[in-house]
Chains A and B, each alone.
Chain A
Amino acid sequence: MVAMANQIAKNLDYGSDKSKAIAGVVDHIRRFWSPLMLDEIAEFISTGEAELSTIAEQALAQLIEERQAAE
């Protein structure tokens, strides 16, 4: 899943506008990932072993926060 998130970030990271790339990753994961996957990657991120790109990391942080707030 970490690899998937990094891959999404890599494909949506063009141009100099990083916030746009992060928004793209957030939107993509929101539209296509099961929330259960988000829970699982959140757990893995909390172990500190997830080697995420900056954009993937920031996008996931936003999504995880949203998910936790919703619960």
Chain B
Amino acid sequence: MTDSYKTYRRPHDLGTPEVTSDNSVTLTVDGKEVSVPKGTKVIRAAALAGINIPRLCASDSLEPFGSCRLCLVEIDGAKGLPASCTTEASEGMKVTTQNDRLADVRRNVMELYISDHPLDCLTCPTNGDCELQDMAGAVGLRDVRYGYAGENHLEAEKDKSNPYFTFDPSKCIVCSRCVRACEEVQGTFALTIDGRGFESKVAASQDQSFLDSECVSCGACVQACPTATLTENSLISKGQPEHTVITTCAYCGVGCSFRAEMKGEEVVRMIPNKDGKANHGHSCVKGRFAFGYATHKDRITKPMIRDSIHDPWKEVSWEEAMEFSAAKLKGIQSKYGTGSIGGITSSRCSNEETYLVQKLVRAGFGNNNVDTCARVCHSPTGYGLKSTLGESAGTQAFDSVLKSDAIMVIGANPTEAHPVFGSQMKRRLREGASLIVLDPRSIALVKSPHVTADYHLQLKPGTNVALINALAHVVLSEGLESKAYIEDRCEQDAYEDWRAFILDEINSPESMESVTGVPSGDIRAAARLFAAAPNGAIYYGLGVSEHSQGSTMVMGIANLAMATGNLGREGVGVNPLRGQNNVQGACDMGSFPHELPGYRHVSDEVTRTLFEKEWGVDLIPTPGFRIPNMFDAAVAGQFKGMYVQGEDVAQSDPDTHHVTAALTSLECMIVQDLFLNETAKFAHVFLPGSSFLEKNGTFTNAERRISPVRKVMEPLGGYEDWEVTQLLANAMGYPMDYSHPSEIMDEIARLTPTFKGVSYDKLDKLGAIQWPCNDKAVEGTPTMHVDEFVRGKGLFRLTPYVATDERTTRKYPLILTTGRILSQYNVGAQTRRTENMTWHDEDIIEIHPHDAEQRGIEQDDWVGIKSRAGETVLRADVTERVQPGVVYTTFHHPESGANVVTTDNSDWATNCPEYKVTAVQAYKVTQLSDWQQEFEEFTQEQLELLKKAKAPAQVI
């Protein structure tokens, strides 16, 4: 590891965005000749020649604006002093950036700025990192001739409403960088310049506080501000950082690259990395601001053990915890058999850590009972894409969307769940790409500033397959398919079978209208729009996978993409938006019970032999238990021990009553986590986990991009997560002796063809790598299936619509569907321990006004939600975001009990739970449900038992 990413410096800004062109122009700047792509602005051309022109309103992350008048230059033959940020470089142009005349003008401009700016530099939070201060120095400002007594904004009141940043308008120079960042980078349009002339000021929404406005707190404005007008509160309280480490965000599948700006081992702020290939310098409220959980007082930093879940916890040494764990697990295996224990890998942990857990299970436990939380989110993606295209992964890089002409978003809510990619998609939509949304809810993309969906196919929950078949029916029946592509790239027999199936009248939009609830005319129009686009791309989320036909729907999506020739180049593709930061990686690393790393089935003898040689053990050739199978077997008394790293199945998995019954029946539950999460309340061993700030490793995002995670502080518990797994393996008698995660990655590369070329050295050199990375693609593969599919020819799979067994009845007349919200992440264990609680401190139930009125439910009333699985109580939000007959909630807070209501229904192929369809009744209530009251009592009991673990230390 080199120190190149450890020094603190503000990234060099070239003034205006990069321009791509086949043609270049050559100009001279201060006597230096430089060639740049045609269309490049003079300020950028100068910067590329190593000449920095003073500027305040210009930035290479924003379109030129030309308001500050500092970047003026002289151009031979041109009148006056043009702004270099708005003037295009041209062939033969001769530019002068510094002379006495320009210096005078710039000094005069700065004088005017400073005449209405506080002179408190020594006590200003951005002292040492202020562009205004830098420019004052650059132009040699020594005096302000106008004095400071005139009319000014120096007494303007600060807005401290946002918990993460402060708006101090007294320091504003009205450069509009914040407004433009909100528009161009984030795409929210929450900020504006209110008033004219001297009255001009930055305003949020209708001159509201930032918190009350439409601001989504992404922080792009804060990052863009050249002064201390918008400043992170952490910077205000801690001062300037002294070093920076480039690392990768641990929230969501976008996998943003960040510069962790540090003071010693303390994070001062997280700044999205401009060179980050997934995020290009942008971030969301979670990644940029919500890192405080890593040092939250709830962190448990000492191992704990207990014999029963009703016993007090006892803090012990790591050695004792490992001896206790190994003895318990071995005892269970000798009593109940080798297959009576298993493990769950974490999609929040690194590739190296998940690899090691599955290795421990397969080689150390001697079975294949390993699974991961992808079971409950994207396992159908793995199944569906592998069987049609040949690889269990999305086909594109995020940047591909910038070349899309028609974008189809199915069961995904990018602006909430993948916000940085959502912003990139909105940018393309503002440029004119068409948008088709398939979603039961009116997600923000359907209508938001400067973005309106061409078609919102608001289908009934559970009818995805019917709709995708109807779309394909239109494509084929109207002759809109890409015949040459299909002939060249796909298996013909399978295509003919699929064609005959799809053309059956049963799949026509008219036949499916009553099933889906979508007007046939809209289906036809949307299909025509998508098929006619030169580049059509499909993005989908858990609204596709978390259904009884999740896998069928993924295959249906792949079928549609193949039929329209939309795979194998930029701008197109099938793009699963992965939920957690390393879901893709956890799957790649062999976390599924039937697959070794690289998606190779355990029955494949050649692959198994490879691993047996490397690991020194015989491996089982048959699949192990999936998570739901583990729970079923636990309830049946056949499964008795689990090692769970960084997952919270007690909160995240469906049918809480069943999960709880399974967990309480275990004789040894080992939980490795940052906090005493819901699952840990059922544990006998707690092993302190380490946050992403405390370890080295890699995450793989939704575009298959492997990005480095770098340690910026020592693990609070003393060990990185991979080291804890290693301790457990050794205690179990299976030796592991890695000294650094790079050695684990080297082993992965040795054993996994798609990772063959991956190493930490290469990651340091390239920044990130998209797999496959091997001899054919030395620097990785941004776009898959370019000349042929991974499986050779693409395989059309038949996708008959089979209605879910979960249907509405007179007893349960509504459909509950679940989702995510921007400010919270998954089970909320991290974000609930940050100021993000400001935006979402409880889960609520959305209900349509019609359904609410029928039940006498008003806004904010307590509403009982009851299914055949269970009952919970949530507060009501009466809204037209949901359609009549559908209610919606999130599951970020454990006491909400959303999964008390969800059932054991699951995808036929992968057992991915059907979170998106639960038949329920809703009714007005005045108190919490029985489950919630029991939950509260159990939680109190467990917190008391936790306090007792620390009691001796407190007495001393």
- Interface positions of A (Cβ within 8 A of B): 1, 4, 7-8, 10-11, 14-15, 28, 31-37, 40
Contacts and interface: CB of A to CB of B under 8 A. Distances in A.
Main secondary structure of the interface of B (DSSP, over half): loop
Contact of B501 (A1, A14, A35): A14
Contacts of B636: 40
A28 B636 CA distance: 24
Contacts of B625: 34, 36-37
Of all A-B residue pairs in the complex, the 6 with the closest CB atoms, nearest first, are A7-B908, A11-B908, A14-B800, A35-B622, A34-B625, A14-B798
Given A4-B906, A37-B629, 4 more contacts: A4-B908, A10-B908, A15-B798, A31-B603
B909 interface: yes
A15 to B, nearest CB: 8
Interface residues of B, number: 30
A48 to B, nearest CB: 19
A43 B679 CA distance: 32
B339 A8 contact: no
Contacts, number: 51
- Among A7, A10, A33, A40, max chain B CB count under 10 A is at A7
A37 B594 CA distance: 14
Interface in B900-947: 906, 908-911
Contact of B908 (A8, A14, A31, A33): A8
Contacts of B908: 4, 7-8, 10-11
15 contacts: A1-B632, A4-B906, A10-B802, A10-B908, A11-B549, A11-B800, A31-B594, A32-B594, A32-B623, A32-B909, A32-B910, A34-B369, A34-B625, A34-B629, A40-B638
B802 A11 contact: yes
Given A7-B908, A10-B802, A36 B594 contact: no
B840 interface: no
A59 to B, nearest CB: 13
A33 B626 CA distance: 8
B638 A36 contact: yes
A36 B633 contact: yes
Contacts of B802: 10-11
Nearest to B552: A11
Contact of A11 (B601, B629, B638, B909): B909
B593 A34 contact: yes
A1 B632 CA distance: 9
Contacts of A36: 339, 625, 633, 638
A13 B369 CA distance: 29
B238 to A, nearest CB: 51
Interface in B571-613: 593-594, 601, 603
A63 to B, nearest CB: 11
B545 to A, nearest CB: 15
B548 interface: yes
B601 A31 contact: yes
B312 interface: no
B624 interface: yes
A4 B552 contact: no
A36 B549 CA distance: 25
A1 B594 CA distance: 18
Interface string B171-213: 0000000000000000000000000000000000000000000
A9 B629 CA distance: 19
Interface in B623-676: 623-626, 629, 632-633, 636, 638
A16 to B, nearest CB: 12
A24 to B, nearest CB: 10
Contacts of A10: 802, 908
Contacts of B623: 31-34
Contact of A34 (B603, B622, B906): B622
Contacts of B906: 4
